[in-house]
Chains A and B, each alone.
Chain A
């Protein structure tokens, strides 16, 4: 059958757009994190995996391993904060950090174990999943990247890859090797212009679009969003108006984790996600981000949509080669960027 067959083409396109919408979200997170912290955040896809699989665990009435990771990171970052405050001779904030860290940990533990055992309704489980996954963003920033904040992009990238391995390994330990699906948020199909689309796909596209609008509003209209942009544009300038780069970094990672976790919840019903699925999904977001030169949000999002479409068409006619095609696409893109962008260097001036 021909790929342009009217019975096939719209379905492939819809599929591509659905996946592409998720890749686009991820690419936005990657550009944001890089612009604000210079971290090329390879483990972005792991947030996706943790999102889906945390919800899947809760569905089974289990306490997800995510809680363990969260509590360990919370403990480390609390210790780091206390030690740092004591070094400054600031006993009061050391006390506050310590007490709030312990209280937060205890609260999360109690809440999660209670709700997991009670098999709470889906919406509650979704909220709990976000509550468990989103704080991983700022905590990982605090524990892994903040101590490296003066390091080069290359060192940060290596740390990022190391963290990716750790998170994938933990995913296997926590959730086992099997893939899991989560229940669909929307049942049934809708016929649009002669094409039948599942409501779940429509939901993914709509939620992604809404999120993008939300992000646009956040960056364009709120002072906090502008502060993040300002940090990305001129770090020294941002400090001079009182924006702490670590606070901005922490916020960027929070947004990235939120985007990742939501993406995981969105794709959970359509793809069986296992511990190593997140990486490939995240990397496709990367291809989009690189198309945008790691700086342009709209180009990154469009690039990621394109990746989704190409992948979808490729999976029809050349399904074995779809990963090869998607990842080899990066080479002509890089070559084009290399030839079109003016040669610039990472010199200090």
Chain B
């Protein structure tokens, strides 16, 4: 048992005892904390994990609460039926909001949620069917096996069970294929797309999920109070949920729970202490809360949980028992075309970054793409990988026209890549980073991941990832954090990640950039091993010693155009290449 698991069990035990022993007033507070924490856990998935943010979670709670209030009072539904009904309604609303905003930069979603939080407040308040600003009363209690949960102590247990389920589902999700892709979203979309994830769809899904968490919390709230009005679902409350996440630590499920406890407690204390301290007539706790949040952002941007977590070491994760292995992609016929670029053109406004370039790569070959600064190599790399498609011309990959395909589809054809500026997830382990490369080999979606129904697939992914870590020589550090590796090892890790996709074609973008001498040695040894194993590689690289001694063939670009092709010796002796690299004498004035 790991220290963290013990701690979680202790927390669960305390939570079980508290409702029985605390005074009723504090039991109600505990229920409030559990309800808030459930919302905040959903928000953690959205904010801390996926890098999006919402001020409108209280409004989503409102949708859940009003759905059950209306259906139980006006239509006599059983509360257990209104829970899923509320979730479905909330999910629909969230999906709509997400579809409208999530294609754009990250700050449009929170702005939209501010607007939507305000609108919804007035919708609740102005609809006679929803009781206007006075609200709806007479909501029936929830009953379990005929037992009505009217007693605050009993209801506290219900809230705690919901919270426990929420925490568990969130943790399950985070340790799954979908969860890893969600984490990748925070630092942009390029990596996730490069390994086959549809990031737009994923963003919408995460947003909807966080709204569903809030909806369940709203359902609890309605049946705790047995009464709803618009106030607890207003924008200010939504802001407070976000503050709970920020204070506790938006990147951590337990941080969200801690934040909910801290702010609820703080509010109680402040409401009692401040007015006597400062005189009457103020909303002092809001002022204090706001200042605390600003200070947290300035001095502990990741919140308080990571500071606490240092005291509880994480145990070594256990590997899953492997039952299945992924099928190996059929090897391409030796000598067949893997890549065929025909007259590719890329125009950026008035600038032609790539102009009528043609070349190909055959199965089993290692081809180097070189050229001086500004030659258009990176642009060409982006054309092939689908990051930024060609203006004209064609790119054929593994026999399919890939000119207009997005990066994620190109990846699924069997193309995997590394990045010029290492794009790993420093706080995740080497194993998790590597497993991200196998995203497209798995199928389990968000719901299966929340319920941990994808463990067989996860085990297969672990196996595949470990094999590749072994291949690059990092197997014994599989559980270290990627951020602790030296740059050279990070480059190897990126290669392991790409290999986990079982690619037919590997693209390396300046793998030696920034490496020390010894690290370059390790890298070129690995690349040579891959060559001998028959992996097809296109490598963009500046280090001529490394390239010249590795590749079968070179394509030289200059000023966006193809300058030369040939084997290393031919290229080295080519006067045009020398001129491109070393420049021309201005006195001679070659033109």
- State the A residues within 8 Å of B (CB): 40, 42, 144, 147-148, 151, 153-155, 157-159, 161-166, 168-170, 172-173, 176-177, 280, 283, 286-287, 290, 320-321, 323-324, 327-328, 330-331, 334-335, 337-339, 341, 343-348
Nearest-Cβ distance from residue B302 to partner chain A, whole angstroms: 11
- By a CB distance below 8 angstroms, the chain B residues around A147 are 298
- By a CB distance below 8 angstroms, the chain B residues around A321 are 122, 126
Query: A169-B286, A334-B100 known; A283 and B281 CB under 8 Å?
Result: no
Asked if residues B301 and A163 are in contact (CB atoms below 8 Å), the reply is no
Asked if residues A169 and B119 are in contact (CB atoms below 8 Å), the reply is no
CA distance A170 to B104 in the complex (A): 35
CB contacts under 8 Å to A, within B189-209, are 189-190
Asked if residues B297 and A169 are in contact (CB atoms below 8 Å), the reply is no
Per-residue CB contact flags for chain B residues 424-447 toward chain A (1 = under 8 Å, else 0) read 000000000000000000000000
- By a CB distance below 8 angstroms, the chain A residues around B289 are 162, 165
Q: Give 11 CB contacts A-B under 8 Å.
A: A154-B107, A155-B297, A162-B291, A169-B282, A283-B118, A290-B111, A320-B122, A324-B126, A328-B116, A334-B104, A345-B189
Asked if residues B101 and A323 are in contact (CB atoms below 8 Å), the reply is no
- By a CB distance below 8 angstroms, the chain B residues around A324 are 119, 122-123, 126
- By a CB distance below 8 angstroms, the chain A residues around B97 are 331
CA distance A176 to B281 in the complex (A): 7
CA distance A327 to B298 in the complex (A): 31
Asked if residues B287 and A40 are in contact (CB atoms below 8 Å), the reply is no
Asked if residues B104 and A337 are in contact (CB atoms below 8 Å), the reply is yes
Nearest-Cβ distance from residue A293 to partner chain B, whole angstroms: 9
| A338: contacting residue among B103, B106, B115, B123, CB under 8 A | B103
Query: A148-B297, A154-B106, A338-B103 known; A165 and B111 CB under 8 Å?
Result: no
- By a CB distance below 8 angstroms, the chain B residues around A347 are 188-190
CA distance A169 to B114 in the complex (A): 19
- By a CB distance below 8 angstroms, the chain B residues around A280 are 118
Q: How many A-B residue pairs have CB under 8 A?
A: 137
Asked if residues B107 and A334 are in contact (CB atoms below 8 Å), the reply is no
CB contacts under 8 Å to A, within B280-299, are 281-284, 286-287, 289-291, 293-294, 297-298
Query: A147-B298, A165-B239, A320-B126 known; A283 and B114 CB under 8 Å?
Result: yes
Tell me if B66 is interfacial: C-beta within 8 Å of chain A. no
Q: Which residue of A lies closest to B286 (CB)?
A: A169
Q: Which residue of A lies closest to B126 (CB)?
A: A320
Tell me if B332 is interfacial: C-beta within 8 Å of chain A. no
CB contacts under 8 Å to A, within B80-101, are 96-97, 99-101
CA distance A153 to B123 in the complex (A): 30
Asked if residues B282 and A338 are in contact (CB atoms below 8 Å), the reply is no
Query: A148-B298, A158-B293, A320-B126 known; A165 and B287 CB under 8 Å?
Result: yes
Nearest-Cβ distance from residue A152 to partner chain B, whole angstroms: 8
Query: A173-B281, A173-B284, A331-B115 known; A157 and B290 CB under 8 Å?
Result: no
Tell me if B210 is interfacial: C-beta within 8 Å of chain A. no
- By a CB distance below 8 angstroms, the chain B residues around A153 are 105-107
- By a CB distance below 8 angstroms, the chain B residues around A337 are 104, 108
Asked if residues A344 and B105 are in contact (CB atoms below 8 Å), the reply is yes
- By a CB distance below 8 angstroms, the chain A residues around B114 are 42, 283
Per-residue CB contact flags for chain B residues 313-339 toward chain A (1 = under 8 Å, else 0) read 000000000000000000000000000
CA distance A347 to B108 in the complex (A): 16
Query: A163-B294, A290-B111, A327-B119 known; A169 and B287 CB under 8 Å?
Result: yes
Asked if residues A323 and B118 are in contact (CB atoms below 8 Å), the reply is yes
Asked if residues B286 and A165 are in contact (CB atoms below 8 Å), the reply is yes
- By a CB distance below 8 angstroms, the chain B residues around A161 are 55, 239, 242
CB contacts under 8 Å to A, within B122-145, are 122-123, 126
CA distance A339 to B108 in the complex (A): 14
Nearest-Cβ distance from residue A207 to partner chain B, whole angstroms: 28
- By a CB distance below 8 angstroms, the chain A residues around B112 are 330-331, 334
| A328: contacting residue among B108, B119, B189, B190, CB under 8 A | B119
Tell me if B60 is interfacial: C-beta within 8 Å of chain A. no
Per-residue CB contact flags for chain B residues 174-195 toward chain A (1 = under 8 Å, else 0) read 0000000000000011100000
Q: Which residue of B lies closest to A40 (CB)?
A: B107
Query: A154-B53, A162-B293 known; A173 and B116 CB under 8 Å?
Result: no
Asked if residues B126 and A173 are in contact (CB atoms below 8 Å), the reply is no
Asked if residues A327 and B116 are in contact (CB atoms below 8 Å), the reply is yes
Nearest-Cβ distance from residue A177 to partner chain B, whole angstroms: 8
Which of A162, A166, A168, A177 is most buried by chain B, counting CB atoms within 10 A of its CB? A162
Tell me if B559 is interfacial: C-beta within 8 Å of chain A. no
Q: Which residue of A lies closest to B118 (CB)?
A: A327
Q: Which residue of B lies closest to A173 (CB)?
A: B282
Query: A165-B239, A165-B289, A173-B282 known; A331 and B100 CB under 8 Å?
Result: yes
Nearest-Cβ distance from residue A166 to partner chain B, whole angstroms: 4
- By a CB distance below 8 angstroms, the chain A residues around B281 are 172-173, 176-177
Asked if residues A338 and B104 are in contact (CB atoms below 8 Å), the reply is yes
Query: A148-B298, A290-B111, A324-B123 known; A166 and B100 CB under 8 Å?
Result: no
CB contacts under 8 Å to A, within B218-248, are 236, 239, 242-243, 246
Tell me if B51 is interfacial: C-beta within 8 Å of chain A. yes
Which of A287, A324, A344 is most buried by chain B, counting CB atoms within 10 A of its CB? A324
Closest 7 CB pairs of A and B: A166-B290, A169-B287, A162-B293, A165-B290, A173-B282, A335-B100, A169-B286
CA distance A337 to B99 in the complex (A): 12
Tell me if B306 is interfacial: C-beta within 8 Å of chain A. no
Q: Which residue of B lies closest to A275 (CB)?
A: B283
Nearest-Cβ distance from residue A37 to partner chain B, whole angstroms: 13
Tell me if B110 is interfacial: C-beta within 8 Å of chain A. yes
Nearest-Cβ distance from residue A274 to partner chain B, whole angstroms: 13
| B53: contacting residue among A157, A168, A346, CB under 8 A | A157
Asked if residues A343 and B293 are in contact (CB atoms below 8 Å), the reply is no
CA distance A80 to B119 in the complex (A): 40
Q: Which residue of A lies closest to B235 (CB)?
A: A279
- By a CB distance below 8 angstroms, the chain B residues around A177 are 281
Query: A40-B111, A158-B293, A338-B104 known; A323 and B119 CB under 8 Å?
Result: yes
| A151: contacting residue among B99, B123, B284, B301, CB under 8 A | B301
Asked if residues B110 and A154 are in contact (CB atoms below 8 Å), the reply is yes
Which of B239, B289, B293, B294 is most buried by chain A, counting CB atoms within 10 A of its CB? B294
Nearest-Cβ distance from residue B254 to partner chain A, whole angstroms: 20
| B283: contacting residue among A172, A283, A330, CB under 8 A | A172
Per-residue CB contact flags for chain B residues 561-585 toward chain A (1 = under 8 Å, else 0) read 0000000000000000000000000
Q: Which residue of A lies closest to B114 (CB)?
A: A283
